[in-house]
Amino acid sequence: MHVEPIPGKAVLMSAEGDRMSKVLPPGTPAPDFTLPVTPDQKLSLRELRGHPVMLAFYPADWSPVCGDQMALYNEILPEFQKFGAEVVGVSVDGVWCHRAFADARHLHFPLLADFEPKGDVARAYGAYRSAEGVSERALFVIDKNGIITWSYCSPIAVNPGADGILEALESLPK
Amino acid sequence: MAKLRTPVTSRDHIQGPEDAPLTLVEYGDYECPSCGSAYPIVKRVQEKFGKRLRFVFRNFPLSEIHPHAESAAETAEFAAAEGRFWEMHDLLFENQEQLSEALYSELADELGLSPTALRQALEVSKYKDRVRTDFSSGVRSGVNGTPTFFINGTRHDGPFDYETLVLALREKNGKATP
């Protein structure tokens, strides 16, 4: 990624660079997982084979801003669906927390609870912040065969938006 | 770093001279409280920079969490078609907590626009595509919540209080003037 040198932002940029090297890179088979999606249902990544998947790790439900990461993806969902993509959010919050959050934000895609053992899936993707005990804002586009084709880790305070995801979905072979 | 993918053109809602060295683009939602707090800040920033600044507002309604955001955006576009965009934009933000069909009619009346024509435009979603075009351009440019600002085409990732915005603009102004 090309970054213009801006005085005062150098530390942020190098921190971002460090994190980018940690999350699983393109070309890696996406580690499979099975996580609770509702209080009585589970979802496995392999069930989504045949579709591109946008896997979005985020630190926590209930961040106190309008248009937080999940609410934003919810608004953009039709654009993801044009590519036949499945959108899945993952955080360490529990199923009941996810349910309340999804209801409040009218989310139309599943949130998975990486709750027990805590953060195991985030760790497998190189997207766990041990010091804080939450996931990074890390995004993965996985092709229909289960291979990661794009990954990105945003500085924790910056919601990454959806431009990179849509470009990655666009560049998947039809 | 996210870049504005859709350049500012005459189809945009623009305040300030075309050749201003600074362009501030806001993607905003009339029902978003954060955009409501940004509204007077942007006004102050505009006063401060005067003719050196061009300000552009684009629609980014978060309809799933703000039930009136879309209708408010379409109301502003209705006013735009009559050449009254900025008056309506200001009134919507100033009455952000009362957004409703009744308020839109009242505001249209206040601006000398036909409340009946407005009601019909909203009923048939006449300006929905116009709003959607803004929204899609924002998505493609990396809009990551509301408000999202772009300064001379680059997303402003810091806070949007007056001091921070002024500093960020000054930095770009230094680069823009030879």
Q: In whole angstroms, give the CA distance from residue A3 to residue B141.
A: 16
CB contact under 8 Å between A66 and B145, yes or no, is yes
CATH superfamily of B13-176: Glutaredoxin (3.40.30.10)
Range with the lowest mean pLDDT among A88-97, A123-132, B167-176?
A: B167-176
Question: What are phi and psi for residue B170, nearest 5 degrees?
Answer: -60, -40
Q: Mean pLDDT throughout A122-151?
A: 96
Is A103 in the B-facing interface, judged by CB distances under 8 Å? no
CATH code of the domain made up of A26-170 = 3.40.30.10
Task: Flag whether the pTM goes above 0.80.
Answer: yes
Rg of the Cα atoms in chain A: 15
Tell me if residue A97 is catalytic: no
For B145, the closest of A68, A107, A164 (CB atoms) is: A68
Q: In whole angstroms, give the CA distance from residue B160 to residue B41.
A: 8
User: In terms of Cα–Cα distance, which of A116, A129, A124 is closest to A59?
Assistant: A129
Is A159 in the B-facing interface, judged by CB distances under 8 Å? yes
Structural contact between residues B130 and B12, judged by C-beta atoms closer than 8 angstroms: no
Chain B, window 120-149: residues with a beta carbon less than 8 angstroms from a chain A beta carbon: 135-136, 139-146
Question: How many C-beta neighbours within 10 Å does residue B104 have?
Answer: 27
pLDDT at A9 over 50: no
pLDDT tens for residues B115-164? Answer: 999 999 999 999 999 999 999 999 999 999 999 999 999 999 989 999 99
A148 beta partners: A142
Q: B158: number of CA atoms within 13 Å, CB side?
A: 15
What is the model's pLDDT at position A19? 52
pLDDT tens for residues A76-110? Answer: 999 999 999 999 999 999 999 999 999 999 999 99
CB contact under 8 Å between A106 and B64, yes or no, is yes
What is the model's pLDDT at position B175? 67
Helix axis angle for B101-110 and B85-94, nearest 10°, is 130
* Extents of the domains making up chain B: 13-176
Structural contact between residues A68 and A162, judged by C-beta atoms closer than 8 angstroms: no
Which residues of chain A have a CB within 8 Å of the CB of B65? 66-67, 71, 105-106
What is the model's pLDDT at position B173? 83
Name the band, by pLDDT with cuts 50, 70 and 90, for residue B174: confident
Which residues of chain B have a CB within 8 Å of the CB of A105? 64-65
What average pLDDT is seen over chain B? 95
Q: Which residue has the higher pLDDT, A28 or A174?
A: A28
Residue with structure tokens 């770093």? B1
- Residue B29: which region, alpha, beta or left (left: phi > 0; alpha: psi -120 to 50)? beta
ipTM of model: 0.82
Is B67 in the A-facing interface, judged by CB distances under 8 Å? no
What is the model's pLDDT at position A18? 52
Which residues of chain A have a CB within 8 Å of the CB of B164? none
Structural contact between residues A153 and A167, judged by C-beta atoms closer than 8 angstroms: no
CB contact under 8 Å between B1 and A75, yes or no, is no
- Highest mean pLDDT range out of A61-65, A66-70, A158-162, B8-12? B8-12
The residue in chain A having the minimum alpha-carbon distance to the alpha carbon of residue B63 is A75
